[in-house]
Structure 1
Amino acid sequence: MAEKTQTGNAIVETIKTIVYALLIAGVFRTLFFQPFWIPSGSMKETLLIGDFLFVNKMAYGYSYASCPSVIIPRFGVDIDAEDLCGFTKGNNTRLFGGEPERGDVVVFRHPVTGRDFIKRLIGLPGDKIQVREGLLYINGEPVQVADDGTFDEIMAPQGPQGLRPRCENGPVGDGGTCIKSRQVETLPNGVSHTILNIANTSVDNTGIYTVPADHFFFMGDNRDNSTDSRVPQTAGGVGFVPRENLIGRADRIMFSSAGRSMLFFWTWRGDRFFKAIE
């Protein structure tokens, strides 16, 4: 009888340990850092498919979007941040934290779908943003750009979704070299980063977007392969992003996998461990 009691106590203790661990992990993820796995190429070459990073949630303070979303389609789990903290949504404010800065790489909730996106912050409240012939204008002034060679990668399926890169020299067959023109873009506050060009597209020439109060304008660094604020929400884009939808700032890549899963350690990229995001 004593043995059964000990076994029962051991099971209860194990369950309690698991519950405590989950609670601690939930609090940690809600308040401090959120893991993020790069699923697409919209931020190349700053971020590659398979980069794994932690998002600094303390940088901009907290809102309903700071609550974690747990989405595991394989097991039918779809718990959204709004399900947990939606009662705080709607006032478009944040608690604590600092102001986002132009050039930050930010994770935010899509204003319509609620899915997490990662893009570069280009437009602040009140800014006028326009793209003409592929060149970004902020408040009527063109940003500085300098040619910086090309970004080359092998044409092959990338990441869990098996996405294939788009190429400026395309179409390119499997195993061929996919090439994009690369430039260094410098924003008005001095932040510099690389951008890529694939082709002349509709978002290379836009109207003037005036960013509303308490909203932000985001663009991907892979300019011709990014769904971002250049396309309004009514047309399937991102549009202007409310302040309360910001989740946090991406500061550093922890590691990066060139394979179909981050668990395939033999595919990890040796040059991207703890790499700063610029």
Structure 2
Amino acid sequence: MSENIRKEIISWIKLVATAFIIAFLLKTYIFQIAYVKGPSMEPTLYEGQILIVSKLSYRVGEPSRGDIVVLSDNLEHKDLIKRVIGLPGDNVDIRDGYVYIDGELLKEDYIQVPTYANEFQQSQVPENKYFVLGDNRPESRDSRSDSLGFVDRENILGKAVFRLWPLNKFGTIK
């Protein structure tokens, strides 16, 4: 093999290796792709939509009320997409079809049906945990359920920030 061909092969190997390392670092620390599965976030998100999730958002800050987050569900070993409702220290109550935070009615213009407490009792969100709900409350396994409950901060993987698919919904997520 000639010296020029050997140098060209080594050059290509370095290029491919660098691309893989950059892709790995971006996926691990900066962003990931998420697929919406199920109806729990309707009417905001629908099954089959593809989202970009910013991991960097929560490396430099904390989740805020109203953020749509991707979280790791240790019980079912899958990722879930939910909305942050209660922050650490908040007193969350659900009554008469509405959510109250520290006694104040939470304005939620992204839901279309009442919120029922199910088994959830008025509680204070523990330190380093979050209370999350799906926007389609009757079809959502969320913090009202004992099987999910309050979500540990370390289980929140990132903030859903952009919708890639379908193209007619392409853009930022609110």
Q: If the length of structure 1 is used for normalisation, what is the TM-score?
A: 0.55
Mapped contact 1:216–1:241 kept (Cα < 8 A): yes
Residue of structure 2 in register with 1:69 after alignment:
none
Mapped contact 2:110–2:135 kept (Cα < 8 A): yes
Residue of structure 1 in register with 2:163 after alignment:
253
Amino-acid identity (%): 37
Mapped contact 1:132–1:206 kept (Cα < 8 A): no
Secondary structure of 1:253's counterpart equals: strand
Deviation at 1:115, TM superposition (A): 2.0
Residue of structure 2 in register with 1:210 after alignment:
124
Structure 1 runs (4+) deviating above 3 angstroms are 12-20, 111-114, 199-202
Query: Which among 79, 87, 97 is matched to residue 134 of structure 1?
Result: 97
Secondary structure of 1:224's counterpart equals: helix
Supply the distance in 2 between the matched residues of 1:126 and 1:141 (Cα, whole angstroms).
14
Alpha-carbon distance change, 202 to 208 in structure 1, aligned in 2, over 3 angstroms: closer
Output the amino acid matched with 1:50. Answer: G
Output the amino acid matched with 1:273. Answer: F
Secondary structure of 2:57's counterpart equals: coil
Deviation at 1:224, TM superposition (A): 0.5
Supply the distance in 2 between the matched residues of 1:15 and 1:111 (Cα, whole angstroms).
38
Within the alignment, does 1:277 sit opposite 2:173 as a pair? yes
Residue of structure 2 in register with 1:28 after alignment:
26
Deviation at 1:141, TM superposition (A): 2.8
Deviation at 1:215, TM superposition (A): 0.5
- Give RMSD over aligned pairs: 2.6
Query: Which among 71, 88, 92 is matched to residue 125 of structure 1?
Result: 88
Residue of structure 2 in register with 1:243 after alignment:
153
Deviation at 1:99, TM superposition (A): 2.1
Q: Which runs of 5+ in 1 are unaligned?
A: 62-96, 145-184, 186-192, 257-268
Secondary structure of 1:228's counterpart equals: coil
Q: Which runs of 5+ in 2 are unaligned?
A: none
Deviation at 1:207, TM superposition (A): 1.5
Q: If the length of structure 2 is used for normalisation, what is the TM-score?
A: 0.84
